[in-house]
Amino acid sequence: QSVLTQPPSASGTPGQRVTISCSGGSSNIGSNTVNWYQQLPGTAPKLLIYTNNQRPSGVPDRFSGSKSGTSASLAISGLQSGDEADYYCAAWDDSLFGWVFGGGTKLTVL
């Protein structure tokens, strides 16, 4: 049972826009920033979005993040087949004094 809640799956067709939600509580998303990770099959996670809506160098602007209250979302526009991956949200938890993750969302490009 993950501390942050994500839908287990999402899908879209090439070129479409999809969003993935992440719900938490007052001790994590409610009081800290949210990060998103992309994990391609057989590889380590890669930082995709940090501090709610910032993209590391090299991440296309097709990826965007937002946060409101105790929830956050990741949006992917202009969907491509290469975006098929698992996506995880994460935040620091002030009560647990550690990082907490969502259960992950498997994105399928139809």
Nearest to 10 by CA among 93, 92, 84: 84
Q: Does 98 bind other proteins (CB under 8 A)?
A: yes
* Beta carbons of 55 and 47 less than 8 angstroms apart: no
Where are the extended beta strands (E) located within the chain? 9-12, 18-23, 34-39, 46-49, 63-68, 71-76, 85-93, 98-101, 105-109
Residues contacting other proteins: total by CB under 8 A: 23
- Which is nearer to other proteins, 53 or 77 (by Cβ)? 53
Taking CB under 8 A as the binding criterion, the range among 9-17, 18-26, 74-82, 88-96 that sits at the site for other proteins is 88-96
Q: Does 101 bind other proteins (CB under 8 A)?
A: yes
Closest CB 23 distance from other proteins, rounded Å: 15
With a CB cutoff of 8 Å and minimum separation 6, the contacts of 93 are: 3, 27, 28, 32, 99, 100
Q: Which position among 35, 38, 64, 73 is part of the footprint of other proteins (CB under 8 A)?
A: 35
Residue 11, both tokens? 């899908």
Q: Does 27 bind other proteins (CB under 8 A)?
A: no
Q: Does 50 bind other proteins (CB under 8 A)?
A: yes
Residues in touch with other proteins (CB under 8 A): 2, 33, 35, 37, 44-47, 50-51, 56, 88, 90, 92, 96-104
